[in-house]
């Protein structure tokens, strides 16, 4: 009788680094973060489907239809429907906040879109190889950039929303005019500062109001003379890896 041995192929790989558990989540001393990659656009995914994924039609048709599908999906989400995508994940509307009674106003600022992982994606996640590249270092770094209103992580930003920045030794400190939180436009390297509502400003966490950024791709930088002890003579610039999109 023939013996059939199942061969498991590693289809996907993610590189991760370890960061100090500065917020005390769980019991470990470190948190693992996937190394930031550039976000893919609809066109990028369609190009991959054409070049790698086996799609044999016209790229232009695929991109056009993908935009139509996503626009319609958002329309249905805003009408209160949940959307299940291929058994991989679902999106649904969620109303946050607390209210006193039936006369309270419930506005759009209370509405969020939540993501839920479904069984097909859960099975695939177990097959991803994650390479531990060790400690990211104990110096100054930016770990997460969160648009608080949309809950977007290291991705899209909306001007006028608050952002939460997590990292290490990122407290904005110093009289040098270069000190602050900056958005750097990747097209022309112009720098736009955060000028309002830096209400929480700590070594591991700071908050700021996203300025009126023109549409484009940005990276976030923190310039500070803070070092955790004696103040630096000149500001150092702490650069975040993720590209942040404003549409």
Top CATH class of 139-246 equals mainly beta
Q: Which residue has the tokens 């209210």?
A: 99
pLDDT value of position 82: 95
Question: Any idea where the domains of the chain sit in the sequence?
Answer: 12-42+76-131, 139-246
133: its two tokens = 């590249």
Consecutive 10-residue averages of pLDDT for the chain (247 residues): 49 80 70 75 91 91 96 94 94 89 90 90 91 76 88 88 90 92 94 85 91 93 88 91 88
pTM (2 d.p.)? 0.62
Q: Give me the residues paired with residue 210 across strands.
A: none
Q: How far apart are CA 3 and CA 228, in angstroms?
A: 62
Q: How far is CA 35 from CA 1, 18, 48, 118, 128, in A?
A: 47, 10, 21, 24, 14
Q: pLDDT value at position 227?
A: 83
pLDDT of residue 40: 79
Query: Are residues 163 and 150 in contact, defined by beta-carbon separation less than 8 angstroms?
Result: no
**pLDDT at site 111:** 86
Cα gap 238→141, rounded to integer Å: 6
Of the candidates 111, 244, 224, the one whose C-alpha atom is nearest the C-alpha of residue 168 is 224
Q: Select from 144, 146, 77 the least CA-distant residue to 114.
A: 77
36-39: long-range pairs with CB below 8 Å, 24+: 36/154, 36/240, 36/241, 36/242, 38/243, 39/155, 39/242, 39/243, 39/245
pLDDT for residue 1: 45
């Amino acid at each position: 009788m023939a013996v059939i041995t199942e061969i498991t192929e590693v289809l996907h790989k993610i590189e991760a680094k370890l960061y100090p558990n500065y917020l005390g989540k769980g019991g470990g001393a470190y948190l693992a973060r996937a190394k930031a990659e550039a976000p893919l656009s609809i066109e990028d995914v369609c190009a991959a489907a054409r070049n790698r994924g086996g799609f044999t039609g016209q790229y232009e048709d695929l991109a056009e239809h993908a935009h139509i599908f996503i626009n319609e999906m958002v329309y249905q989400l805003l009408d209160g429907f949940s959307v299940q995508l291929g058994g991989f994940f679902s999106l649904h509307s969620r109303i946050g906040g607390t209210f006193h009674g039936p006369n309270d106003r419930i506005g759009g600022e209370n509405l969020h879109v939540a993501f839920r992982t479904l069984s097909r994606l859960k099975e695939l996640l177990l097959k991803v190889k994650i390479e531990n590249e060790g400690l990211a270092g104990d110096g100054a770094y930016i770990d997460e950039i969160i648009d608080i209103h949309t809950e977007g992580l290291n991705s899209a930003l909306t001007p006028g929303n608050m952002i939460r920045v997590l990292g290490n030794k990122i407290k904005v400190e110093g009289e040098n005019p270069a000190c602050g939180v900056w958005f750097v436009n990747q097209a022309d390297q112009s720098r736009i500062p955060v000028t309002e509502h830096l209400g929480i400003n700590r070594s591991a966490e700071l908050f700021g109001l996203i300025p009126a950024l023109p549409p484009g791709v940005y990276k976030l930088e923190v310039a500070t003379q803070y070092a955790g002890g004696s103040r630096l003579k000149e500001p150092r610039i702490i650069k975040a890896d993720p590209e942040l999109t404003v549409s």
